[in-house]
């Protein structure tokens, strides 16, 4: 039987001498690994004389436990040392501001579209999306816009060819929907429209909302009340507003809504009773059904709501502007 106690003392010394965690890990493998010292010793027991077997087994197992504990203690000691050194050596400035995540925000136009959509959904309007690429029929002809109307020329409209164009108004959804859905209906839509315009208050692309309702007995007074409710809701206050007679080929009578801001009347929305010709074109009997329609530019509404003087700022993606709308 070899002199185990000397070996075990030596092992503890080796552990104590190791000064870093990696070295200690190598020692652990050498002593306690599958092919390590203790595994070998345990294998050797079977070759020992019978009377020693029990004793050697006892000694080896006890020492294994004890030395393993010694190793773990030393490991803890080294780890504590590392933490301690890190704290002592690193300058930690507790006055520094904490790290925080910057949260994004919705674009003010997106926010306004959600807000407006919510309003109309709550009062029973269903959302319908339309196509940005339209043909002359749905964008103009179906809406009573005559063939020689200036809006139809290439000067005002982005055209692909003779009959395909980028829609100039979301009113283009009207005929498609009316032909698909039988009355009664309350429809709301919103999306991008395109016109050849570019200045402080016009951009070649902007967003429009469009809504209409068709039922028996729909009157101008329904439209009027809805417009009041919508404008008060959007501006979040009882803003001064007026209905001014106007003209749109697809409504009769037609009106525009102006709101009063700093003493000036500013136009925000077009509306009217759907022209009987349009109902007829959609195979809806105008003697039974009537309807109202309205449309407005979202950018314009948002500009007035937040007193934004230049529309182009919506498209600049300047984070200083956009993050003010974290609502
Ligand atoms: N489409 C019109 C425009 O682009 C807005 C409009 C006016 C829509 C009157 C309507 C309406 O539905 O009845 O200026």
Establish whether residue 248 lines the binding site of ligand 1, counting it when its CB lies within 6 angstroms of any ligand atom: yes
Ligand 1 atom 7: residue of nearest CA: 270
Q: How many A from CA of 98 to the centre of ligand 1? A: 51
Establish whether residue 169 lines the binding site of ligand 1, counting it when its CB lies within 6 angstroms of any ligand atom: yes
Q: Concatenated DSSP letters for 215-261?
A: ETT--HHHHHHHHHHHHHHHHTS---EEEEEEEETTEEEEEEEEEEE
Establish whether residue 291 lines the binding site of ligand 1, counting it when its CB lies within 6 angstroms of any ligand atom: no
Structure tokens at 94: 């507790």
Q: How many A from CA of 189 to the centre of ligand 1? A: 12
Establish whether residue 272 lines the binding site of ligand 1, counting it when its CB lies within 6 angstroms of any ligand atom: yes
Q: Mutation test of ligand 1: which of 140, 157, 294, 296 has the most ligand atoms closer than 8 Å to its C-beta? A: 294
Is the distance from CB of 189 to CB of 129 less than 8 angstroms?
Answer: yes
Q: How many A from CA of 277 to the centre of ligand 1? A: 16
Q: Spell 15-27 as b/e; 16+ CB within 10 A means b.
A: beebeeeeebeeb
Strand partners, 133: 166
Q: How many A from CA of 167 to the centre of ligand 1? A: 13
φ and ψ at residue 265, rounded to 5 degrees = -85, 125
Q: Concatenated DSSP letters for 127-179?
A: E----SEEEHHHHTGGGT--TT-GGGSTTTS-BSSSSEEE-S-GGGHHHHHHH
Ligand 1 atom 8: residue of nearest CA: 295
How does pLDDT run along the chain (327 residues), one tens digit per residue?
567 888 999 999 999 999 989 999 999 999 999 999 999 998 988 888 888 888 888 999 999 999 999 999 999 999 998 888 877 787 778 888 888 887 888 999 999 999 999 999 999 999 999 999 999 999 999 999 988 888 787 778 999 998 899 999 999 999 999 999 999 999 999 999 999 988 888 899 999 999 999 999 999 999 999 999 999 999 998 899 999 999 999 999 999 999 998 889 999 999 999 999 999 999 999 999 999 999 999 999 999 999 898 888 999 989 889 888 765
Half-sphere exposure of 78 (CA within 13 A, CB side): 17
Ligand 1 atom 5: residue of nearest CA: 295
Rounded CA-CA distance 137/149 in Å is 13
Structure tokens at 165: 């164009």
Q: How many A from CA of 263 to the centre of ligand 1? A: 25
Is the distance from CB of 311 to CB of 202 less than 8 angstroms?
Answer: yes
Q: Mutation test of ligand 1: which of 190, 250, 276, 290 has the most ligand atoms closer than 8 Å to its C-beta? A: 250
Q: How many A from CA of 63 to the centre of ligand 1? A: 92
Rounded CA-CA distance 292/244 in Å is 16
SS3 state of residue 105 = coil
Backbone Cα Rg of the chain: 40
Residue 67 confidence (pLDDT) = 95
φ and ψ at residue 73, rounded to 5 degrees = -60, -45
pTM: 0.71
Alpha-carbon torsion, ordered 49, 54, 57, 61, to 10 deg: -170
């Amino acid at each position: 039987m070899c002199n185990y106690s000397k070996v075990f003392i030596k092992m503890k010394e080796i552990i104590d001498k190791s000064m870093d965690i990696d070295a200690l890990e190598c020692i652990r493998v050498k002593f306690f690994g599958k092919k390590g010292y203790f595994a070998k010793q345990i294998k050797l027991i079977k070759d020992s004389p019978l009377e020693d077997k029990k004793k050697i087994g006892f000694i080896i197992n006890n020492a294994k436990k004890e030395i393993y504990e010694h190793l773990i203690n030393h490991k803890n000691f080294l780890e504590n040392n590392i933490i301690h050194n890190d704290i002592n050596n690193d300058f930690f400035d507790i006055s520094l501001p904490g790290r925080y995540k910057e949260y994004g925000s919705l674009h003010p136009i997106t926010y306004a579209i959600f807000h407006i959509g919510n309003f109309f959904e709550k009062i029973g309007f269903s959302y319908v999306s339309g196509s940005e690429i339209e043909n002359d029929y749905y964008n103009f002809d179906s809406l009573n816009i005559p063939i020689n109307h200036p809006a139809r020329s290439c000067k005002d409209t982005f055209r692909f060819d003779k009959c395909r164009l980028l829609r100039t108004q979301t009113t283009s959804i009207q005929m498609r929907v009316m032909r698909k859905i039988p009355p009664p209906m309350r429809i709301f839509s919103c999306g991008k429209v395109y016109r050849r315009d570019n200045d402080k208050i016009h951009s070649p692309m902007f967003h429009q909302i469009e809504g209409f309702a068709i039922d028996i007995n729909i009157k101008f007074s329904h439209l009027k009340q809805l417009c009041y409710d919508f404008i008060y809701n959007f501006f979040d206050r009882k803003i001064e507003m007026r209905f001014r007679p106007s003209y749109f080929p697809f409504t009769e009578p037609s009106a525009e809504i102006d709101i009063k801001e700093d003493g000036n009347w500013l136009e925000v929305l077009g509306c009217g009773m759907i022209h009987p010709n349009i109902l007829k074109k959609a195979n809806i009997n105008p003697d039974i059904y009537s309807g109202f329609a309205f449309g407005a530019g979202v950018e314009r509404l948002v500009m007035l709501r937040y007193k934004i003087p230049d529309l182009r700022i919506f498209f600049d993606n300047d984070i200083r502007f956009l993050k003010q709308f974290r609502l």
